[in-house]
A and B are shown apart, each in its own frame.
Chain A
């Protein structure tokens, strides 16, 4: 069979029979070796170019549902107010609720409702960007669908992945969802104000689980209810924004 005959170079015809399915019929084996999600990757690269042309930092925020993505964004908007112009792309299966919360902060937000889809992809983000004026923005946060599995597989054109882990979820979650946490550039341990009340979340254990995943991701402890905890997060964003603008100048 073709699988073992060793031919199969692109464009190389071989006329031996495929006896296993269709006796006597001609067949051809073609080596492809192409990413299955290459179309998404192409769209993501387009989004990234679009962000960079406008000097905009794009941050993809992922976590399980309820770990505080929107709440952190609200607090981040407050922390950056008057210094940076923010835009938010919200991904949810249904409702405009999260976009409405962001707009209530005076920040433009585009809601993507995915219906039954469990993740955002680059095309959905691309379409959402048509409703956003990047000339008037410094940072775009893409709040992905709450899900610790599927979103990790899809590049959106972001410059950085932020994965949130709330202290009520369990400190071994990075070990349970290695693919997602491996993709993180920053892990935000959220709702740390609850650490005063729960005794079964160890920041050290969570950190060890993350470090076990071959990642140098920054790990920050954040509480949206305690703005004083957000300083390192703001600095991280500023550094990333400077990186995007620096590379844009170099390529310009």
Chain B
């Protein structure tokens, strides 16, 4: 349920960027959620559908891109995929690895609706 906190933080950032660009609306928010971020895309989406109301992102789409887990093996040096059920090295099976990707909790991109210049000039 901390997804609501994450969502409010996300909306705050989106509003700041939108304001800085004098945007009329936020049309789309793209985030990257690594499996080790601890944030569930479905729950974030649910929180977003509630929290966006009354904000500049009221009609925005939220797009959650799933990050992938990568681990580097301290034993054999190879880098490969990992999963939430195993972060061991897929090459040599050593559990002595470090996670090189998969913890992302990132606002990747915003798509803003801008005021129409012709009407703004009036």
Interface contact A214-B13, CB-CB below 8 Å: no
Interface contact A27-B9, CB-CB below 8 Å: no
Interface size (A, Cβ < 8 Å)? 42
Interface contact A214-B71, CB-CB below 8 Å: yes
Which chain A positions have C-beta within 8 A of B82?
214
Which chain B positions have C-beta within 8 A of A39?
9, 12
Docked complex Cα distance between A152 and B107 (Å): 19
Check A21 for interface membership: any CB of B closer than 8 A.
yes
CB nearest neighbor in B for A25: B113
From the candidates A36, A40, A118, name the one contacting B107 in the complex (CB within 8 A): A36
Which chain A positions have C-beta within 8 A of B106?
32-36
Q: Closest approach, in angstroms, between the C-beta of B78 and any C-beta of chain A?
A: 14
Interface contact B59-A36, CB-CB below 8 Å: no
Check A37 for interface membership: any CB of B closer than 8 A.
yes
Check A129 for interface membership: any CB of B closer than 8 A.
no
B2, B85, B88, B117, most chain A CB atoms within 10 A = B2
Check B110 for interface membership: any CB of A closer than 8 A.
yes
From the candidates A21, A29, A36, name the one contacting B110 in the complex (CB within 8 A): A29
Interface contact B109-A214, CB-CB below 8 Å: no
Q: Closest approach, in angstroms, between the C-beta of A20 and any C-beta of chain B?
A: 8
Interface contact B13-A38, CB-CB below 8 Å: yes
Whether A28 touches B111, Cβ cut-off 8 Å, given contacts A37-B9, A152-B38, A214-B87, is yes
Whether A32 touches B2, Cβ cut-off 8 Å, given contacts A3-B28, A175-B85, A211-B95, is no
Interface contact B38-A153, CB-CB below 8 Å: yes
Which A154-196 residues sit within 8 Å CB-CB of chain B?
A: 154, 175, 178-180, 182
Interface contact A27-B2, CB-CB below 8 Å: no
Check A26 for interface membership: any CB of B closer than 8 A.
yes
- Which bracket fits the contact residues of B? 35 or more
Docked complex Cα distance between A37 and B85 (Å): 25
Helix, strand, loop or mixed for chain B's interface? mixed
Check A198 for interface membership: any CB of B closer than 8 A.
no
Interface contact A118-B108, CB-CB below 8 Å: no
From the candidates A28, A119, A154, name the one contacting B114 in the complex (CB within 8 A): A28
Interface contact B5-A8, CB-CB below 8 Å: no
CB nearest neighbor in A for B3: A150
Interface contact A40-B2, CB-CB below 8 Å: no
Which chain A positions have C-beta within 8 A of B107?
32-36
Q: Using an 8 Å CB-CB cutoff, how does the interface string of B90-122 with A read, 1 for contact, 0 for none?
A: 000001111100000111111111111100000
Interface contact B13-A34, CB-CB below 8 Å: yes
Interface contact A153-B6, CB-CB below 8 Å: yes
Which A14-65 residues sit within 8 Å CB-CB of chain B?
A: 18, 21-22, 24-40
Check B36 for interface membership: any CB of A closer than 8 A.
yes
CB nearest neighbor in A for B11: A36
Which residues of B pack against A, CB within 8 Å? 1-2, 5-6, 9-10, 12-13, 17, 21, 23-24, 27-28, 30-31, 36-39, 59, 63, 71, 82, 84-88, 95-99, 105-117
Given contacts A32-B110, A182-B99, 11 further A-B contacts (CB under 8 A): A22-B27, A26-B117, A33-B106, A36-B105, A37-B105, A38-B13, A179-B36, A179-B84, A182-B36, A213-B87, A214-B98
17 pairs of residues in contact across A and B, judged by CB atoms under 8 Å: A3-B28, A3-B109, A26-B114, A27-B113, A28-B111, A31-B109, A32-B110, A34-B106, A38-B13, A117-B5, A119-B2, A149-B38, A178-B85, A182-B36, A212-B85, A214-B95, A214-B98
